[in-house]
Structure 1
Amino acid sequence: GDTGAALIECVDLVCFTGSVATGQKVAEAAARHFIPAFLELGGKDPAIVLDSADLDLATSAILWGSVVNAGQSCLSIERIYVAETIIEPFVEQLVEKTHHLNLCYPSPADGEIGPIITEPQAEIIKDHLQDAVQKGAVVCCGGGVEELDGGLWCRPTVLTHVNHLMKVMTQETFGPIMPVMPFSTLEEAVELANDTIYGLSAAVFAGSEAEALAVASRLDVGAVSINDAGLTALVHEAEKNSFKFSGLGGSRMGPAALKRFMRKKAFLIKTEPVRDPWWFR
């Protein structure tokens, strides 16, 4: 908007967090002024659950990572890929835990799930849910947007029978929606997780650190939480970059990020009053 455009006119560097569309405008404006810009933009973060994972731990972590802030975070888990041999107990546990969450209504102390921030965002959530159901998704719990005292709310929703033809698996939903999709091999899991324009962060759950790291190293994202969800947002000393359409220009985190807010200048001092041999006279 006008405010952002005016700010870029008078700064030496831009650090922006927001949508891909706005980030592209910021990057273009910064380039016109020849100033650095580093951007953290949208995400469609995957969680991969291997058959060796602790299901109780995985379902609790993924539930939190998917619905905290009502799912309105670029680092939210928005796609869940589970080994087909354990998908039934995984979904059962996830749905059971979801039933214990309540809306923060009529006061924040009454629950864990806050309202949707704007009506346009609520419309995106409704559109993604309707699109998924029309294409064959099954709603295990939740499943809609409701209005309470003028506010818009969405209860945590678990979807199964989803695929990558659905908006809920390919576009940023920004809501407390948990689509769960099975995979048969690790190769398929990695391929599905990387099948996106985004590359912000991810989560991998496995019975051993080595097993999890073998998968995590193949994910095209800037940071991966192992046997947790959201560590990538909480550990600020770790440098985390954004890949693909999720960002540009390096991390805002870690020691290296501080140097991105600085400009280096060199001072070369002649310490002796002697003539340089390459001078003309």
Structure 2
Amino acid sequence: MRSFTARDPRTGVHDWRGQALDPAEVLEVAARLRAAQQGWEARGGASRLEVLRAFAQALRRHAEPIGAALETDTGRRRIARLEIDSVVGSIEAWARVIAADAPPEWIQGRGLPSVRHTAAWKAYALVGVVSPWNFPLLLGMIDAVPALLAGCAVLVKPSEVTPRFIAPVMAAVAEVPELAAVFAFVPGDGITGQAVVDLADCVCFTGSVATGRKVAVQAAGRLIPAYLELGGKDPLIVLEGADLDAATDAALRGSVLSTGQACQSIERIYVARPIHDAFLARLVEKAQAARLNWPDITVGEIGPIIFDRQVDILSAQIADARQRGARVLTGGEIETHGGGLWLRPTVIAEVTPDMAVMRDETFGPLLPVMAFDTVEEAVALANDGEYGLSAAVFAAALDEAEAVGRRLEAGAISLNDAALTSIFYEAAKQGFKCSGLGPSRMGEDGYRRFLRRQALIANTARPLPLAAFSEEGST
């Protein structure tokens, strides 16, 4: 084993030490899960659902230590508790998807009427999940829950940046022996994560584009599917006639909730020139009113920067914008409080498309605002880039917002709001461009992706003899 440490983002102190599992140890866990998977799949969907419901109750019983660990991991209290609530709620949400999934019927053949066919679904034996640090519990379970309900065994490797929650969650898992047989977390680093990808039959990864490419290559070498949810540079377009109070509310929340440490955060804002100045003034006013949750974690809206390396990216983008002539109207300076690193909502005006803050993923509370003259220009600016995770459009009417949204190259478009995929999970969507690979993790697709389709083909007549294909009589 290799030891690793974790940093408390509110104090800046590396006050946690754990052991990273080596590949041989990951293999032992994977083998145990595989041995139980066939029995798990054979239970049937209704039985598996009851086991997951028992797990939900165990999570509720362990909510205090899990929430406390997530709070220390991320520096957030309310969102830490919402992660637990979201996982519990997702089990019933997936139950509704499964209930609406009617058994496939036999279909009469068109080319050969005596032949009919139907489908059967076979679960991947072992699903590997490699999850990120920004929502440590939720973004591991968003893949694990539907995979378990589909009949898979699941092995989750969380980020080494936020590992404290693993122990109390596994205590909850242990209270449900049927689940513990097919579900486990493995703490560790990149080597541990690579071992998971080497052992799984299907892999889910959430994280950066750079690491996602490596996971995709590793999975492709083994000819297994890789479902990737990667980075974003989500645009918000505000059209003339939009409700400025509503638009600025959505822009601020969509940009700085969770201190902007979310892949679907709004990271660039394009505003119609006639309303640009009024929009900017309201946005600045609201951004200035946002409070750090320091020193009291129960007060305020802006938490600390979880991963200290992210500070270099944020500082570099702000400096680049300033050097190229942009004006920083709020925030803009990394603050140190109690040893933790903080950044207030940072509204940046007079930005240009070539600036890093408009081109590269930020993952922080930066709000660059740029004016546009025509809808065509706004669409072109929003589509200019390597990312296509999600986007947003504000307009006077929903049909106007929809018309523009349909022209954007992104997997999910929020209309007259922003970052709706963070709070609404029912709509299936995929990442465009470099933002993802594979089926949606939301909607029915989020469940189906863990099942391989098997065709059952039945002949209701006498099988054709070899003589039916004799060369005699051919021309």
In the superposition, the TM-score normalised over structure 2's length comes to 0.57
Q: Which residue of 2 aligns with 1:277?
A: 465
**For residues 243 and 258 of structure 2, what CA distance do their matches in structure 1 show?**
25
Structure number with higher helix proportion: 2
- State yes or no: 1:20 paired with 2:226: no
| 1:142-174: CA deviation from partner (whole Å, max 9, x where unpaired) | 111111111100000101000112100000111
> What is the Cα deviation at residue 11 of structure 1?
1.2
**For residues 361 and 307 of structure 2, what CA distance do their matches in structure 1 show?**
15
**For residues 157 and 256 of structure 1, what CA distance do their matches in structure 2 show?**
37
Q: Is the 8 A contact 1:155 1:176 kept in 2?
A: yes
Q: How does 1:124-139 map to 2 (within 5 A)?
A: 124-139=313-328
Q: How does 1:215-226 map to 2 (within 5 A)?
A: 215-226=404-415
> What is the Cα deviation at residue 213 of structure 1?
1.1
- State yes or no: 1:238 paired with 2:427: yes
**For residues 29 and 256 of structure 1, what CA distance do their matches in structure 2 show?**
24
**For residues 17 and 221 of structure 1, what CA distance do their matches in structure 2 show?**
17
> What is the Cα deviation at residue 247 of structure 1?
0.6
> What is the Cα deviation at residue 110 of structure 1?
2.0
Paired letter, 1:93: R
Q: Which residue of 2 aligns with 1:145?
A: 334
Paired letter, 2:465: P
**Secondary structure class of the residue paired with 1:263:** strand
**For residues 132 and 226 of structure 1, what CA distance do their matches in structure 2 show?**
29
> What is the Cα deviation at residue 123 of structure 1?
1.0
**For residues 161 and 59 of structure 1, what CA distance do their matches in structure 2 show?**
17
Deviates more, 1:247-256 or 1:126-135: 247-256
**Secondary structure class of the residue paired with 2:313:** helix
- State yes or no: 1:8 paired with 2:204: no
**Secondary structure class of the residue paired with 1:123:** helix
Deviates more, 1:225-234 or 1:197-206: 225-234
Paired letter, 1:277: P
Aligned partner of 1:265 among 451, 454, 458: 454
Paired letter, 1:174: F
> What is the Cα deviation at residue 266 of structure 1?
3.1
**For residues 388 and 459 of structure 2, what CA distance do their matches in structure 1 show?**
49
Aligned partner of 2:387 among 189, 198, 217: 198
**For residues 191 and 18 of structure 1, what CA distance do their matches in structure 2 show?**
26
Paired letter, 2:207: G
Ranked by relative contact order (alpha carbons within 8 Å, sequence separation 6 or more), the top structure is 1
**For residues 66 and 229 of structure 1, what CA distance do their matches in structure 2 show?**
9
Paired letter, 1:254: G
**Secondary structure class of the residue paired with 2:309:** helix
- State yes or no: 1:95 paired with 2:284: yes
Counterparts in 2 of 1:173 and 1:275: CA distance versus 1, 3 Å: closer
| 1:178-208: CA deviation from partner (whole Å, max 9, x where unpaired) | 0000000001000110111100000100001
**For residues 298 and 248 of structure 2, what CA distance do their matches in structure 1 show?**
24
Paired letter, 2:372: F
Aligned partner of 1:213 among 386, 402, 408: 402
> What is the Cα deviation at residue 107 of structure 1?
2.4
Deviates more, 1:197-206 or 1:96-105: 96-105
* Larger Rg, first or second structure (1 or 2): 2
**Secondary structure class of the residue paired with 1:254:** coil
**For residues 248 and 228 of structure 2, what CA distance do their matches in structure 1 show?**
31
Q: Which residue of 2 aligns with 1:42?
A: 231
Q: Which residue of 2 aligns with 1:76?
A: 265
**Secondary structure class of the residue paired with 1:211:** helix
Q: Is the 8 A contact 1:240 1:253 kept in 2?
A: yes
**Secondary structure class of the residue paired with 2:217:** helix
Deviates more, 1:259-268 or 1:93-102: 259-268
**For residues 289 and 362 of structure 2, what CA distance do their matches in structure 1 show?**
23
Q: Which residue of 2 aligns with 1:169?
A: 358
**For residues 107 and 29 of structure 1, what CA distance do their matches in structure 2 show?**
44
Q: Which residue of 1 aligns with 2:142?
A: none
> What is the Cα deviation at residue 27 of structure 1?
0.4
Q: Which residue of 1 aligns with 2:371?
A: 182
**Secondary structure class of the residue paired with 1:52:** coil
**Secondary structure class of the residue paired with 1:214:** helix
**For residues 178 and 275 of structure 1, what CA distance do their matches in structure 2 show?**
68
Aligned partner of 2:248 among 42, 47, 59: 59
> What is the Cα deviation at residue 23 of structure 1?
0.4
Counterparts in 2 of 1:267 and 1:55: CA distance versus 1, 3 Å: same
**Secondary structure class of the residue paired with 2:284:** helix
Gaps in structure 1 of 5+ consecutive residues = none
| 1:205-242: CA deviation from partner (whole Å, max 9, x where unpaired) | 00011211111111000110000012123221111110
In the superposition, the TM-score normalised over structure 1's length comes to 0.96
**For residues 228 and 419 of structure 2, what CA distance do their matches in structure 1 show?**
19
Gaps in structure 2 of 5+ consecutive residues = 1-189, 469-475
> What is the Cα deviation at residue 268 of structure 1?
4.1
> What is the Cα deviation at residue 275 of structure 1?
5.3
Paired letter, 1:95: V
Q: Is the 8 A contact 1:232 1:240 kept in 2?
A: no
**Secondary structure class of the residue paired with 2:236:** strand
**For residues 270 and 48 of structure 1, what CA distance do their matches in structure 2 show?**
56
